[in-house]
Amino acid sequence: MANDDSGWGAFAKYFSLAIMLPASTLTGYGIGYWLDHAFGTHFLGMVFLVLGTAGGFIQLVRGLGKG
């Protein structure tokens, strides 16, 4: 089923890729937001937003390169 590129296998592969970028972006921003409140800063949200987005793009390219 892991190499199934027809039907539900393809749907699962591309759906997970479609969810990965927004999920990693929101996770990165959430971590930065929490750290901003923990340390009383105002820049960590943006730093971790960029890191989460970059991580999401890296995983997206890796996932598209597999098949």
pLDDT (0 to 100) of residue 48: 98
Query: pLDDT tens digit string along 43-56?
Result: 999 999 999 999 99
Closest CA to 48 of 60, 35, 63: 35
Tell the residue number behind the tokens 């730093």, with chain if given.
47
> Would the pTM of this model clear 0.75, i.e. be above it?
yes
pLDDT (0 to 100) of residue 20: 94
In the predicted model, residues of the chain with pLDDT beneath 70 are 1-5, 67
